[in-house]
Structure 1
Amino acid sequence: MKIVNRKGKIIKKEVSSKNQKFLYYNLEKNFLKRFFLKVLTSKIISFIFGLYAKTPFSKLHIKKIIKQNKIDLNLFEKQKFFSYNDFFIRKYKKINFEKNNKIFISPCESNLSFYKIKKNDVYHIKNNIYSLNNLLKNKKLAEEYKNDYCLIFRLEPSDYHRYIFIDNGIFKHQAVKIKGKFHTVNPIAFKKFNVFCENYREYNVLFTKNFGKIIQIEVGGLFVGKIFNHPYKSFKKGQEKGFFAFGGSTIILLIKKNIVKFDDIFFKNTLNKCETKINIGEAIGEKRYSK
């Protein structure tokens, strides 16, 4: 998978690890491998790894990830961490975001893919066909977003794992939590599984002031201990919505196509099988004005 900037320049090529290749290649021919993967992506294993990530022993992994990704610790509230999970959920001293209410911002630091949902409520990701009904487990809600937009923000382990609200608004319903597995969100898994429809996830319907009714879905990844969302009844743009604890993870936004004009480069990059690197709070679109 190629990761590019907004000008289309390649930043890096994401390569699956040897362990990921071992797990996901030739599954059809290897019963033991399928069994091992089933166990590894279960809730109990995620829980166990989550416990380990909270111990002082897990600090051993921090230096390597900081060096590999050139992370500037001076940008964060603290520079010393008790455990890997403590590092994983590190918090910026300040988050800069576009404050103009007509500007649509990214909820997180991530790699963005942009998809247009077809009339029969399906969209294609890495050669897999996804159904909104399977994603949401709500046929009526899925019907509302036929022929609209699906934005997928895939977080890498080195990314900032806290996320913010993209606008002012309110909640009218409680979050929906859907049980599932904990497959990696590395692209290698997309070839074998409908990861976003199979993984544990939870979603809210956001009734926003400037961009209408938006569905935000947080998807757990391999070894993600938990998804933490703050119990707000109303929210403001740039306010922290929640965070992921330990592991790669993904945020999905479903939005009406006639509400926001997104930068065309995101769709072009996705068609070229690339993801676009973006920062938390970065402007990615602008509200359409009706004539």
Structure 2
Amino acid sequence: MQGIQYIDRKTGALCEERPPAEKYIRFLYQSPLGKLPLELLVRRKFLSAWYGRRMDKEKSAKKIADFVAAYNIDMSEALRSVEEFENFNAFFCRKLHPSARPIGEGLVSPADGKLLAFEHIDELRAFFVKGQAFNLKRFLGDEALAERYAKGSLLIIRLAPHDYHRYHFPYAGQAEEAQQIMGRYYSVSPYALARNFVKVFCENKRAYSILKTADRGDILLAPVGATMVGSIHFSYPPNAQLEKGQEMGYFAFGGSTVVMLLEPGQFELSADLLENSRRGMETAVRMGEQIGK
């Protein structure tokens, strides 16, 4: 069974990712027989809430060591050791040493994950996944706001369950209080995205905050929840001056995504990210890594 291919940015090598519960996710999103349980159960909030509560229980800490070993997670980056986490959720949203994610020049990635970058949102239909255009109006639930970014740039950072699950500000500025957009809980697995791209991003639970910068316009940052994610957490002080790389928030257990919208002409996105995305390939990035100038 073929995994999901992506580009290692440092080496340029083609790599393969196999998500946890791969066979289960393939069944739900690629098999006609999987559609019934998907619609009746997986997208429902109660399942995510139930599983999220399980990951808060003390006995869930027993899963951590095996998870770390299975996905070769570098725990030397974390502030706490495996034995110190009280439950799996505490491990999942673990904090890292500041030196583990140096903050680069220009525009930086807000999170660890696999990134897709598009310079012009209004041209997405020409090369995007399964020919589906990204629908800003449906995603934001705000026609005026969608129009504001309609000719701007779009970046999508998909976090796998074994990634670092805190997200940060990609540039300095002042961020407004987050606005919640209620939705369901579809998986953000690559298998789900390939088949249900518009549904995953425009119907999942999500929120957004607008970061007002001094010299590069307003950056919209939108964390998107997913199957088995009980909630999206914000940890920044609204309307205060924020440094580039400062923590914005974190996800509870599950795979998740951060969507970033840039106003037209404010940033020049990195050429390698744009080229890989034109080819339909995600690029592995880390929080703090330069993605534009």
Query: Do the structures match in fold with TM over 0.5?
Result: yes
Task: Please give the residue correspondences for 1:222-241 in structure 2 after superposition, counting only pairs within 5 Å.
Answer: 222-232=227-237, 233-234=239-240, 235-241=242-248
Relative to 1, partners in 2 of residues 1:17 and 1:147: Cα closer, same or farther, differing over 3 Å?
same
Aligned residues of 1:97 and 1:105 also touching (Cα < 8 A): no
Counterpart position of 1:154:
158
Letter in 2 for 1:2: Q
- Residue by residue over 1:206-227, the C-alpha shift from the partner in whole angstroms, topping out at 9 and shown as x without a partner, is 1012421111000001111211
Counterpart position of 1:42:
44
Distance 1:176 1:18 in 2: 35
Distance 1:124 1:139 in 2: 24
Unaligned runs of 5+ in 1: 287-291
Tell me how far 1:118 sits from its aligned partner.
4.4
Counterpart position of 2:251:
244
Structure 2 SS opposite 1:108: coil
> Is 1:129 equivalent to 2:133 in the alignment?
yes
Letter in 1 for 2:253: F
Distance 2:182 2:170 in 1: 26
Tell me how far 1:109 sits from its aligned partner.
0.7
The partner residue of 1:26 within 31, 37, 60 is 31
> Is 1:213 equivalent to 2:215 in the alignment?
no
Relative to 1, partners in 2 of residues 1:104 and 1:57: Cα closer, same or farther, differing over 3 Å?
same
Structure 2 SS opposite 1:202: strand
Counterpart position of 2:87:
83
Tell me how far 1:192 sits from its aligned partner.
3.4
Tell me how far 1:124 sits from its aligned partner.
6.5
Tell me how far 1:254 sits from its aligned partner.
0.4
Q: Which has the higher helix share?
A: 2
Task: Please give the residue correspondences for 1:39-118 in structure 2 after superposition, counting only pairs within 5 Å.
Answer: 39-79=41-81, 80=83, 81-95=85-99, 96-98=101-103, 100=105, 103-118=106-121
TM-score when normalising by structure 2:
0.88
Distance 1:141 1:123 in 2: 23
Relative to 1, partners in 2 of residues 1:120 and 1:158: Cα closer, same or farther, differing over 3 Å?
closer
Relative to 1, partners in 2 of residues 1:89 and 1:121: Cα closer, same or farther, differing over 3 Å?
same
Relative to 1, partners in 2 of residues 1:36 and 1:285: Cα closer, same or farther, differing over 3 Å?
closer
- Residue by residue over 1:203-250, the C-alpha shift from the partner in whole angstroms, topping out at 9 and shown as x without a partner, is 011101242111100000111121111251222112111100111000
Structure 2 SS opposite 1:71: coil
Distance 2:104 2:278 in 1: 30
Letter in 2 for 1:156: A
The partner residue of 2:13 within 6, 9, 13 is 9
Which 4+ residue blocks in structure 1 deviate beyond 4 angstroms? Answer: 120-125
Distance 1:36 1:168 in 2: 40
Aligned length: 280
- Residue by residue over 1:106-131, the C-alpha shift from the partner in whole angstroms, topping out at 9 and shown as x without a partner, is 11111100124444897864213321
Tell me how far 1:33 sits from its aligned partner.
4.0
Aligned residues of 2:119 and 2:269 also touching (Cα < 8 A): no
> Is 1:185 equivalent to 2:199 in the alignment?
no
Distance 1:225 1:272 in 2: 33
Distance 2:128 2:141 in 1: 19
Letter in 1 for 2:201: F
Aligned residues of 2:121 and 2:153 also touching (Cα < 8 A): no
Question: What is the aligned-residue RMSD (CA, Å)?
Answer: 2.1
Instruction: State the identity %.
Output: 30
> Is 1:268 equivalent to 2:275 in the alignment?
yes
Relative to 1, partners in 2 of residues 1:198 and 1:117: Cα closer, same or farther, differing over 3 Å?
farther
- Residue by residue over 1:118-159, the C-alpha shift from the partner in whole angstroms, topping out at 9 and shown as x without a partner, is 448978642133210001011111111122210000001111
Distance 1:228 1:265 in 2: 31
